[in-house]
Structure 1
Amino acid sequence: MNADASPREMAADDAGLSLVELLVALFVGGMLLTLIASLFVSTMQATAATRDLDLATGRAQALSTSLQTDIRNAAEIVVQDIPGGGTLVRARVATGDTGWQCRAWALVDLTTTDADGTRDGADGGLEARTHTSAPLTGTQTAPAPATTWGALVDVVEPATDAAGTALPPFTLDDRHLSWNLTVVTSEQPQLNARSTTSLSGSAVAGARDNGSGARCW
């Protein structure tokens, strides 16, 4: 310290930050925090969007693989409307030289309850479910879609044409089944818009009926 400094100068040296300097520091710090927060949110949005697209693609592939594999091994196919809304595809699928299984795929809106007891479903959004069973015997009837059926896709919608008109999700022409769907997923709806993946394909029933009398509907 300068021994010749006046008391006023020494007091000024010990005064620390002025109010203006403090306000400038707070402003700059706030700007930096805002920038960091913005970058963090953008990163989370990009990560969530990528994950959702991967989920949608994986689920679409699982549904497409299930349909193509089983329909190619089927001897009979039927497309049915589900009372209350939805579509059902049933197939009698060969499992060997003489064996048969009944496979079904449903686009349906079911009411379900999760582990916390929270009601879900029955909200107008269709889900894709599948079921495998033995051929029917006697007076048995084909099982209706239920929450016990395996879930393939959480949310699925019919695809639309260029005019925005919904296309039939399944079209059956003799032994040729084709499908046009949109798989939807959004794991982080508060961060990003939902992701969608188009799912279209077809398969021809290639199994021969051996006259066993096995039935699935």
Structure 2
Amino acid sequence: MNQDRDSADDEGFSLVELIFYVVILGLITTGIAVVFFNTWKAQASVSDQVDAAERGQLVASQIEKAMRNAVAYEITDPTLASSLSSGPTLVVATAMSGSNACMAFNLNGGTAQLTTTSGARVGAAPWPTWQSGITQHKNSGGVLVPFFTQVGSDVAYSFDATSANGPTVHFEGTAYLRNSSWGTLPGGGTQTCF
């Protein structure tokens, strides 16, 4: 009779074994949850960085397109003189016809603004927001780098495209003026953008 009782006690899990298995299962589940959470967080960061890179590339390519077709340009700085808008502005008179004859870029207050006219003088702000998350770049010494700088007959640009969860993407380059006849429109005449 004792043998039956001993064999009955050996069946199943003891309370200690059950607690041990529950703790192990809990640790495994927690580990899996942490891996999934970190993967989701990393994916969100990469997605935000890609979005910032696309916005920055759009701004840089539009500036370079305007300068490739430029017959004249003007960089204004609101700290030096009255300007068209609240921030550093690049106004470009292009050789293009239609609504892109005059193109003006304002990078200030965390946004990029773009306005165009078909040859008329570019009007004062407010301009519509074109791209958000565009900020002024700080160099390694913490000094703010100007958005636009004249380099000979060309324009150097520098800005950062920010993202909500990912790192900031820095853009800088030189937009080259291809037109050698400064201020003269194709077919004659002079620019009237500024």
Task: Give TM-score, length-normalised by structure 2.
Answer: 0.79
The one-letter code of the counterpart of 1:103 is M
Aligned partners of 1:13, 1:174: CA distance in 2, in Å? 91
Is the counterpart of residue 205 in structure 1 residue 177 in structure 2? yes
Shift of 1:86: 2.5
Residue 58 of structure 1: aligned partner = 54
Aligned residues: 184
Residue 105 of structure 1: aligned partner = 105
Instruction: Describe the shift of the 1:201–1:160 C-alpha distance in structure 2 as closer, same or farther (beyond 3 A).
Output: same
Which of 177, 185, 190 is 2:163 aligned to? 185
Unmatched segments (≥5 aa) in structure 1? 110-125
Aligned partners of 2:173, 2:122: CA distance in 1, in Å? 29
- 1:91-145, Cα deviation, whole Å (9 max, x unpaired): 111116x997110111133xxxxxxxxxxxxxxxx11122222222xxx661414
Shift of 1:50: 2.4
Shift of 1:9: 3.3
Residue 175 of structure 1: aligned partner = 153
Residue 92 of structure 1: aligned partner = 93
1:29-44 correspondence runs (5 A): 29-44=25-40
CA RMSD for the aligned pairs?
Answer: 2.8
Is the counterpart of residue 166 in structure 1 residue 179 in structure 2? no
Shift of 1:20: 1.1
Aligned partners of 1:108, 1:161: CA distance in 2, in Å? 17
- 1:49-91, Cα deviation, whole Å (9 max, x unpaired): 3222322222222111111111121112112235795322111
Any conservation in 1 of the 2:92–2:102 contact (CA below 8 Å)?
yes
- 1:153-210, Cα deviation, whole Å (9 max, x unpaired): x212222223121111111245321112122113xx3xxxx32222111123333314
Unmatched segments (≥5 aa) in structure 2? none
Which of 23, 40, 43 is 1:47 aligned to? 43
Aligned partners of 2:135, 2:54: CA distance in 1, in Å? 16
The one-letter code of the counterpart of 2:169 is T
> Which one has a larger percent helix, Structure 1 or Structure 2?
2
Aligned partners of 1:66, 1:78: CA distance in 2, in Å? 16
> Which one has a larger percent strand, Structure 1 or Structure 2?
1
Instruction: Describe the shift of the 1:100–1:41 C-alpha distance in structure 2 as closer, same or farther (beyond 3 A).
Output: closer
Give identity over the alignment, percent.
23
